[in-house]
């Protein structure tokens, strides 16, 4: 195959049918913005290829939002998501230590307690906005626990995450000022919180980060960047994927009954929700040099977009790919990225979603939607906009 005879698709398309139709003709397509990779195997090859860089893709998001210079850009230029090489390693290794699976598995009881507290606070069980009353509350409270911040700050923390990640991921220029103001507010929060913690180190993430700085692994500014990265990355995405999991389970009542009847199936249900409705619809890279993927040449300077949506429904990898099934062989999702850039918080995100579903299944087995759940799709992400239920 050459670069001239691949299908052409709409850049920024949100139409799954268009993506799947192109995927069934070719694993790679072109669009006005670059290459579009539509199948699972080549998608992983792209995400893992050392010549295809993630840092520039995050910088592009900042450029697109109009964050191109000044102090705020200087600070963004040194965080894990925007950097490559040694600087990226310096920033990623301390985060990876905090978020490693062994550490996260110790949090199960805490997360379970947080979910039950959230459920205890729900008022009229006949009319519940599950997005606000549950999905938005869990990740911010878990964050407060991790960094040892008062739980009363959870709503503020949730806003600090949403007002930064929301505009950035949806490329919403109308929210640029909100992004800027919230960035500084978030930085002040982590700075004050870290300073207050210095004289009283414990076994929380903040103390561990301070120890990393004292050991010379991070500068003071990098410490703030690390703390802010956890705040921003840990909330929004988990909120929406939690809501998606409930939406997918409830839109077909027999799915909910399956997990109520056999809670051991919940992790498989979470994976199936991620596969069929990922929070991240596209992950992209920049070719730093001429590269070849499956013998196909991609020239230096090209943007390469991997469609999480199309590749997680690749019929070469998934039987009956559009069907909800809990007995699939384990295949790692594309949604958490791959290679040296993959999502460091994926174990925590899964823990939170699984515990949320488990607690609701045990306490409210009669859970049902009271109206259709709705989402807002962009090419980059899915946001849940409505998820109204009756718990009893």
Residue closer to ligand HEM (CB basis): 29 or 349: 349
Q: Minimal distance in Å, beta carbon 1 to ligand HEM?
A: 25
Cα–Cα distance for residue pair 352/342, rounded to 1 Å: 18
- Residues 22, 157, 210, 349: which binds ligand HEM (CB under 6 A)? 349
Whose tokens are 């703390």? That residue is 227
Does residue 157 interact with ligand HEM by CB under 6 A?
A: no
Nearer to ligand HEM, 103 or 156 (CB): 103
DSSP, collapsed to helix, strand or coil, labels residue 284 as strand
Number of Cα atoms under 13 Å in the Cβ half of residue 193? 24
> Can residue 230 be called a binding residue for ligand HEM (CB under 6 A)?
yes
| Beta-carbon count within 10 A of 75 CB | 17
Tell me if 234 contacts ligand HEM by CB under 6 A.
Answer: yes
Residue with tokens 């503020």: 156
Question: Per CB under 6 A, does 43 bind ligand HEM?
Answer: no
Shortest gap between Cβ of 203 and ligand HEM (angstroms)? 17
Q: Could you tell me the smallest distance in angstroms from the CB atom of residue 338 to ligand HEM?
A: 5
CA distances from 320 to 22, 24, 136, 317 (A): 18, 14, 33, 10
Q: Where are the alpha helices (DSSP H) in 252-392?
A: 253-261, 266-276, 308-311, 346-363
Place of tokens 């050991």: 215
Say if CB 320 and CB 314 are below 8 A apart.
no
Closer residue to ligand HEM, CB minimum distance, 6 or 383: 383
Spatial neighbors of 89 by CB under 8 A, at least 6 apart, are: none
Specify the 3-state DSSP secondary structure of 305: strand
CA distance 220 to 378: 36
Answer yes or no whether residue 52 interacts with ligand HEM by CB under 6 A: no
Q: How far is the CB of 381 from ligand HEM (least distance, A)?
A: 8
Nearer to ligand HEM, 22 or 79 (CB): 79
- By CB under 6 A, what part of segment 279-338 binds ligand HEM? 279-280, 283, 335-338
CB of 343 to ligand HEM, least distance (A): 3
How many Cβ atoms from other residues are within 10 Å of residue 263's Cβ? 15
Q: Does 44 bind ligand HEM (CB under 6 A)?
A: no
Window contacting ligand HEM (CB under 6 A); options: 147-155, 225-233, 261-269, 316-324: 225-233
**Using CB under 6 A as the criterion, what x/- string covers residues 114-153 for binding ligand HEM?**
----------------------------------------
| 223 burial level (CB within 10 Å; 0-12, 13-18, 19+) | buried
Nearest C-alpha neighbor of 357 from the set 252, 273, 233, 279: 273
Of 6, 229, 287, 367, the one binding ligand HEM by CB under 6 A: 229
The single residue among 9, 46, 53, 80 that binds ligand HEM, judged by CB under 6 A, is 80
Task: Choose which of 241, 311, 354, 379 interacts with ligand HEM (CB under 6 A).
Answer: 241
Of 147-155, 192-200, 232-240, 263-271, the segment contacting ligand HEM by CB under 6 A is 232-240
In this chain, which of 92, 137, 159, 175 binds ligand HEM, going by CB under 6 A? 92
Please state the closest distance from residue 335 (CB atom) to ligand HEM, in A.
6
3-state secondary structure 60-118: HHHHHHCCCCHHHHHHHCCCCCCCCHHHHHHHHHHHHHHHCHHHHHCCHHHHHHHHHHH
Q: Does residue number 343 form part of the binding site for ligand HEM (CB under 6 A)?
A: yes
- Contact region for ligand HEM (CB under 6 A) — 91-99, 107-115, 187-195, 319-327? 91-99
Contact residues toward ligand HEM (CB under 6 A) are 47, 54, 80-81, 92, 95, 99, 229-230, 233-234, 237-238, 241, 279-280, 283, 335-338, 341-345, 348-349
């Amino acid at each position: 195959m050459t670069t001239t005879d691949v299908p052409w698709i709409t850049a920024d398309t949100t139409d799954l049918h268009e993506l799947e139709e192109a995927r069934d003709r070719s694993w790679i397509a072109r669009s006005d913005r670059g290459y579009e990779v539509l199948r699972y195997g080549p998608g992983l090859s792209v995400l893992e290829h050392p010549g295809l860089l993630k840092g520039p893709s995050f910088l592009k998001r900042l450029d697109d939002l109009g964050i191109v210079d000044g102090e705020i850009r200087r600070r963004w230029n040194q965080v894990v998501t925007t950097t490559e090489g040694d600087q990226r390693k310096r920033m990623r290794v301390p985060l990876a230590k905090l978020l490693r699976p062994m550490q996260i598995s110790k949090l199960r009881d805490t997360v379970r307690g947080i979910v039950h507290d959230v459920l205890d606070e729900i008022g009229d069980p006949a009319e519940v906005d599950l997005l606000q009353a549950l999905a938005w509350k869990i990740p911010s409270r878990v964050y407060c626990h991790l960094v040892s911040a008062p739980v009363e700050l959870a709503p503020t923390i949730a806003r600090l995450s949403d007002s930064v990640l929301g505009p950035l991921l949806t490329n919403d220029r109308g929210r640029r000022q909100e992004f800027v103001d919230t960035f500084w507010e978030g930085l002040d929060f982590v700075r004050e919180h870290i300073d207050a913690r210095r004289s009283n180190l414990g076994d929380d993430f903040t103390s561990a980060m301070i120890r990393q700085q004292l050991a010379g692994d991070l500068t003071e500014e990098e410490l703030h960047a690390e703390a802010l990265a956890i705040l921003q990355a840990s909330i929004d995405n988990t909120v929406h994927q939690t809501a998606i999991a409930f939406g997918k389970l409830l839109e077909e009542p027999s799915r909910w009954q399956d997990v109520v009847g056999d809670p051991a199936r919940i992790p498989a249900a979470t994976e199936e929700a991620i596969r069929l409705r990922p929070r991240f619809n596209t992950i992209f890279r920049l070719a730093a040099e001429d590269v070849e993927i499956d013998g196909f040449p991609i020239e230096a300077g090209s943007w390469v977009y991997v469609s999480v949506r199309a590749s997680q429904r690749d019929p070469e990898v998934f039987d009956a790919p559009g069907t909800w099934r809990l007995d699939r062989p384990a295949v790692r999702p594309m949604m958490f990225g791959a290679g040296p850039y993959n999502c460091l918080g994926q174990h925590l995100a899964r823990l939170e979603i699984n515990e949320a579903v488990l607690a609701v299944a045990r306490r409210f087995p009669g859970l049902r939607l009271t109206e259709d759940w709705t989402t807002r799709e962009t090419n980059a992400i899915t946001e849940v906009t409505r998820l109204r239920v009756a718990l009893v």
